Each structure stands twice: as structure tokens, then as C-alpha cells.
């Protein structure tokens, strides 16, 4: 047998995540990130430049000679301490149990942090919701120590999931862990306040680890103050006993996606396992960037940045919801968080009702969106059927600048009317 054929049978085809897929398909038609002719309404990153009222953006990094060495796998101690202090100041000011550096592990971005957490899971049933973050699908199929269990959220109930049903799901399916994005990517569903307190209590009472992906936790649209943030850390009783694992990073909430700095906040025992997993998965993050991130991890910086985000992204949210509605694209749930709108295409002309067909047609108008079927998380493709339950949906991002959003929506409206 030839070497080439041996290689071909030794590797499996690995699917691409939704955003990567649509960007590569768009690139085949001439898209580039620097092209002024394209409108990317599928992007998973926020505009990364200065915003009115935002703290001064980092434009250069000075590298200490010691930073040419490896960073510790759990991250620089001073950065871990700063992250722990930030959570204590924002969410745990009056609580006796406080996070320390031992409750934090730093990784090279959110996916690396999540991969470490998932690799640390034991032989448990892991629940995950539908729809949810597209990158979960392949990740949940890459480690065979746990079994992933899908839980459907219904649009008829505005993607709500009562605590009573959550408890039944955990007990009935024997869940040892639950993974979810909060706010949810793609629907924007937000769990906050008293409901979030009850979710954290459920995790504690039933000894089920809740893994909260909180990467959009500063993009909160709840009608309250303009620097509102949300985290499950607020309702943790004991930071080393409550089974609450938090994922966050600079990508979305600080608008530094290119830095690839993420972290895990969890009980010390979990952080030990997560750090051990990092020693063979990724070896640790960038030392210069971790040191450069230190001034960004302060309460004052976060509140100022969050207010600037709210002032800039809030109007973009309102504009996109209104424009999509006028086109006949139904918004099941006005997003309570994130910078996405989950659009139902069922009322459009027949040839545009499928998210994939809509995406392909939009490419011809130099507009990018993400088909909804990518968020039908199906690890290992174990669930039968070729038609996704979210085939009539698309995710629209208002992460780009307002002028890009306006032009992109103008083109989509013309496409639909034509």
C-alpha cells in the first residue's frame, strides 16, 4: 500500500466550526477581512478599535527579557491574582469566601480553556443545550471519558428552561456536568438575577458541575445601568466547594480577540486538574501577552469598557432587530445578551427559508451570515436525520461597525425583495 493511502486512512475528516466555514466559503468568492466591499454579519468578534468613552486601547507591548521564557501552565501568578481579585470586587464584595490565584487558570484563548476543562471531566453524563455555541460540537466528541446528552430549548417558550425541569433533567439523566453559554450564543438568552441564583443553588444541591461560558457577560441588554455585567460567581457560596466553573477572557468583553487570552475560574481542585490537562494539551499561554494584560484586569477598566460597549452596541442591537423584522425575518427572542440576533427565516420566500440557502444567496451580495444548523450541537453526529431542527434559522452579528451593518442589511433587504 502506498504511503499516501495509509495516511489517508489514518486521519478522519474534522468539520469546521460555523464561523470558520462561512468565512472560508466567502473567501472562495473574494472575501477578505480588509475588503471594504464585504459586510460580515457573521463575525464572532466585536469591533476591536477605540469606542467613545472606552479606556485607551493597547497599541504596543514592551517585552521583559524574562518573558522570552515559558509561562507557567496555569498562567502568571500575578495575572491569576488579578483575575481572582476582579471577580471578588465585581461579584463577591460582601462574601466571606473569596477567590484566590489558586482558583484561576489562564490559557491561550477560550477554546483552549474549555478544552482543558472538558479534558478534565471524568466518566459522567454531560448535558448541553440546543441551540448553543457551534464549537462545542466537535469538542464534545473529541474526549471519550464522558457522554454528551442534548437538551432541547424550545422557541415557543422563548428558549426558557425552568429550574424544576433543570432538576428533573439532572436527576433523570444522571447528569454529572452541564455546559452552557450565558448569555447564549446564538439566541442571546440570558440567565441572570434570581433565576441564576437558583441555577447555582441547583448545581450545589445536586452536586452537578455547571460549566458557564461567560464570554459575553458584559454585553447585557436588561434595561438596567449601562455597565451591567452578569456572572454565576455572584451566587457561589463557597468558591472551593460549589461546583461552578466559569470561562471568560479578553476576546469579547475586553474586545481583544487577537490576544487569545482566556481563563477558568473554579474550585482549587478543578483548577489543579485543568492545569495538569494544559501541561499536555497546550503547554501554557503567551508570557508577554499575559503580562501586558495585567493593567486591563481591573474593576475600573471593566466598568468603563462595559459602559462604552453598551453605549455603542445597544443602538446597533436595536437597529438590527428592527431592520430584520421589517424584512420578514422573525426574531423569536430579543437578545438579552451577546451581539447576535437569532433570525427565523420561515416567513421569507421559499428559496430563502433555509439558513444554508439564505447564506449562499447572501454571498452573492457580498454579505456573510451563519446558517442556524451549525448551532444544532450534535457530537459524533449520533442523532439521526439529515434535516436540522434549526435549518430555518440564521445568526446575524452586530459585532461589526454600524456602517457595515447598515450596508449589509440594505443588501439583504434588496435580495429578499428581488
pLDDT per residue as tens digits for the range 147-182: 999 999 999 999 999 999 999 999 999 999 999 999
- Residue 5: predicted pLDDT: 46
Please give the C-alpha separations between residue 153 and each of 64, 187, 250, 305, 378, in angstroms, as whole numbers: 49, 10, 29, 32, 14
- Residue 226: predicted pLDDT: 58
Low-confidence ranges of the chain (pLDDT < 70): 1-8, 224-227, 383-386
d(CA 135, CA 11): 20
Domains and CATH numbers, the chain: 14-51+303-417 (3.90.1150.10), 66-302 (3.40.640.10)
Grid coordinates belonging to 188:
442571546
Structural contact between residues 251 and 262, judged by C-beta atoms closer than 8 angstroms: yes
Query: What DSSP state is assigned to residue 220?
Result: B
Structural contact between residues 194 and 230, judged by C-beta atoms closer than 8 angstroms: no
Query: What DSSP state is assigned to residue 39?
Result: E
SS3 249: strand
Give start and end residues of each alpha helix (H) in 98-185: 110-119, 136-142, 163-173
d(CA 232, CA 193): 9
- Residue 7: predicted pLDDT: 57
Unique residue bearing C-alpha cell 485607551: 56
Q: List Cβ<8 Å contacts ≥24 apart for 111-114.
A: 111/135, 111/139, 111/262, 112/260, 112/262, 112/278, 112/281, 112/282, 112/285, 113/247, 113/249, 113/262, 113/263, 113/264, 113/274, 114/139, 114/211, 114/213, 114/247, 114/262
- Residue 17: predicted pLDDT: 79
Structural contact between residues 238 and 97, judged by C-beta atoms closer than 8 angstroms: yes
d(CA 212, CA 233): 10
d(CA 314, CA 221): 7
- Residue 413: predicted pLDDT: 98
Please give the C-alpha separations between residue 10 and each of 7, 139, 280, in angstroms, as whole numbers: 5, 20, 22
Structural contact between residues 118 and 136, judged by C-beta atoms closer than 8 angstroms: no
Q: Whose CA is closest to 268, among 105, 116, 121, 111? A: 105
Query: What is the pTM assigned to this prediction?
Result: 0.95
Sign of the CA dihedral running 124, 130, 134, 137 = positive
Backbone angles phi, psi at 12, to 5 degrees: -100, 155
d(CA 63, CA 103): 27
- Taking every pair of Cα atoms in the chain, the longest distance, rounded to a whole number of angstroms, is 68
Query: What DSSP state is assigned to residue 1?
Result: -
d(CA 357, CA 184): 24
Neighbouring-strand partners of residue 337: 220
Structural contact between residues 136 and 150, judged by C-beta atoms closer than 8 angstroms: no
Amino acid at each position: 500500500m502506498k504511503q499516501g493511502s495509509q495516511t489517508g486512512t489514518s486521519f478522519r475528516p474534522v468539520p469546521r466550526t460555523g464561523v470558520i466555514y462561512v468565512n472560508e466559503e466567502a473567501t472562495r468568492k473574494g472575501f477578505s477581512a480588509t475588503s471594504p466591499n464585504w459586510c460580515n454579519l457573521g463575525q464572532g468578534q466585536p469591533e476591536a478599535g477605540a469606542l467613545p468613552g472606552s479606556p485607551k486601547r493597547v497599541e504596543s507591548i514592551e517585552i521583559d527579557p524574562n518573558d522570552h521564557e515559558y509561562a507557567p501552565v496555569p498562567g502568571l501568578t500575578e495575572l491569576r491574582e488579578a483575575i481572582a481579585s476582579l471577580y471578588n470586587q465585581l461579584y463577591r464584595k460582601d462574601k466571606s469566601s473569596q477567590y484566590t490565584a489558586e482558583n484561576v487558570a489562564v490559557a491561550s484563548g477560550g477554546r483552549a480553556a474549555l478544552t482543558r476543562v472538558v479534558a478534565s471531566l471524568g466518566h459522567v453524563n454531560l448535558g448541553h443545550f440546543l441551540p448553543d455555541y457551534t464549537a462545542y460540537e466537535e469538542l464534545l466528541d473529541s474526549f471519550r471519558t464522558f457522554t454528551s446528552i442534548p437538551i432541547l430549548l424550545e422557541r415557543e417558550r422563548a428558549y426558557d428552561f425552568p429550574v424544576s425541569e433543570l432538576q428533573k433533567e439532572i436527576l433523570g439523566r444522571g447528569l454529572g456536568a452541564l455546559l452552557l453559554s450565558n448569555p447564549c450564543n446564538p439566541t442571546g438568552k440570558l440567565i441572570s438575577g434570581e433565576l441564576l441564583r437558583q441555577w447555582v443553588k441547583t448545581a450545589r444541591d445536586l452536586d452537578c458541575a455547571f460549566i458557564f461560558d461567560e464570554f459575553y457577560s458584559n454585553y447585557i441588554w436588561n434595561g438596567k445601568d449601562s455597565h451591567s455585567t452578569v456572572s454565576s460567581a455572584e451566587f457561589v457560596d463557597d468558591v472551593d466547594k460549589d461546583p461552578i466553573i466559569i470561562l471568560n477572557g479578553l476576546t469579547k468583553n475586553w474586545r481583544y480577540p487577537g490576544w487569545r487570552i482566556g481563563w477558568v475560574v473554579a474550585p482549587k481542585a478543578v483548577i489543579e486538574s485543568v492545569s495538569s490537562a494544559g501541561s499536555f494539551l497546550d503547554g501554557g499561554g503567551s508570557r508577554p501577552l499575559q503580562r501586558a494584560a495585567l493593567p486591563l484586569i481591573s474593576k475600573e477598566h471593566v466598568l468603563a469598557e462595559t459602559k462604552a460597549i453598551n453605549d455603542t452596541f445597544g443602538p446597533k442591537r436595536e437597529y438590527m432587530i428592527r431592520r430584520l423584522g421589517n424584512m420578514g425575518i422573525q426574531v423569536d427572542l430579543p437578545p438579552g445578551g451577546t451581539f447576535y440576533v437569532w433570525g427565523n427565516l420561515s416567513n421569507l420566500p421559499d428559496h430563502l427559508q433555509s439558513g444554508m440557502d439564505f447564506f449562499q444567496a447572501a454571498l452573492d451580495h457580498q454579505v456573510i451570515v451563519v446558517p442556524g444548523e451549525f448551532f444544532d450541537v450534535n457530537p459524533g453526529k449520533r442523532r439521526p436525520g439529515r434535516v436540522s431542527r434549526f435549518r430555518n434559522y440564521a445568526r446575524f452579528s452586530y459585532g461589526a461597525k454600524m456602517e457595515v451593518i447598515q450596508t449589509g442589511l440594505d443588501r439583504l433587504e434588496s435580495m429578499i425583495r428581488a
